[in-house]
Amino acid sequence: MDDFIRSEIDTETIEDDDSSIYLSIGDLMSGLLMFFALLFITALLQLAQKDVPKRVVIGNVVGQMKSNNINVKVNPETGDVSIQESILFAKGSTELKPEGKAFLRRFIPVYSGVIFSKSEFEQEISRVVIEGHTSSDGDDKTNLQLSLLRSSSVYNYIFYDMNFPTKAPLSQKILAAGRGEIESDKKLDNPGDRKVVFRFQFRSDELKKDIVKTSL
């Protein structure tokens, strides 16, 4: 009888110990989930804070384009400035039209002026890329070459034929690239795809990638 009672007590003790272990593991898991949730929230707050200078830069670009009556399309999310082919080039040509040169003489001082208007803007923008884009009409190789030559024509005109106050610092940030028909509508020849885009590369976006990698 004593052995039976002792066995029952031992069984209850083991069950209590198992329950304690399970509770400890459960508490540990809950703690870990809470930790990662807080880490994720902190990362989101950091990302939101890093986006502030970027949004201010884009807002200033939009405002300056409007106040100076410069006819361009500015993406409010990325700050990309799109200039239609018809403004700068004749169809199929890589030589800037006279009206295209006149447009750049108006556009570039204002655009560059925003970048260097404040030290935080200058620090936030790590690179400006002049991208040539084509529609899907024609073959890939020809379109890629055309887009690159067009972006080079814009670059050369800005830095070899123009003078403006922020020319020297802008030359340290800017480069030309050809994108061809990569971003074009593949189903039809859309004239809107033939354009030159001035695209910002933001330091906050680079930091954002680092924060995401760290938090994973």
Q: What is the predicted pLDDT for the residue at 16?
A: 56
Q: How many CA atoms lie within 13 A of 190 on its CB side?
A: 12
In-domain check, residue 88: yes
Q: What is the pLDDT of residue 194?
A: 93
Write down the pLDDT at residue 49: 45
Cβ-based neighbours of 137, under 8 Å, separated by 6 or more = 143, 189
Look-up of token digits 């055309």: 146
- The answer to whether residue 45 is domain-embedded is no
Contact 184, 146 (CB under 8 A): no
Angle, helix 2-67 to helix 203-215, in steps of 10 degrees: 170
For the chain, the domain total comes to: 1
Domain region containing 204: 51-215
Residue 93 lies in a domain: yes
In a domain, 120, yes or no: yes
Q: Is 199 left (phi over 0), alpha (psi -120 to 50) or beta?
A: beta
pLDDT of residue 185: 86
Tokens of 91: 């169809």
Q: Is 107 contained in some domain? A: yes
CATH at 147: 3.30.1330.60
Establish if 175 belongs to a structural domain.
yes
* CA nearest neighbour of 176 among 197, 160, 201: 197
Host H or E run for residue 203: helix 203-215
Residue 15 included in any domain = no
- C-alpha distances (whole Å) from 190 to each of 51, 84, 181 are 33, 12, 11
Q: Is residue 1 situated within a structural domain?
A: no
pLDDT, block means (10 residues), the chain with 216 residues: 53 56 62 54 42 88 96 94 96 95 98 96 95 92 95 98 97 96 87 94 71 48
Decide: 35 and 46 in contact? Cβ < 8 Å: no
Q: Using H for helix, E for strand and C for coil, what is the string for 89-153? A: ECCCCCCECHHHHHHHHHHHHHHHHHHCCCHHHHHHEEEEEEEEECCCCCCHHHHHHHHHHHHHH
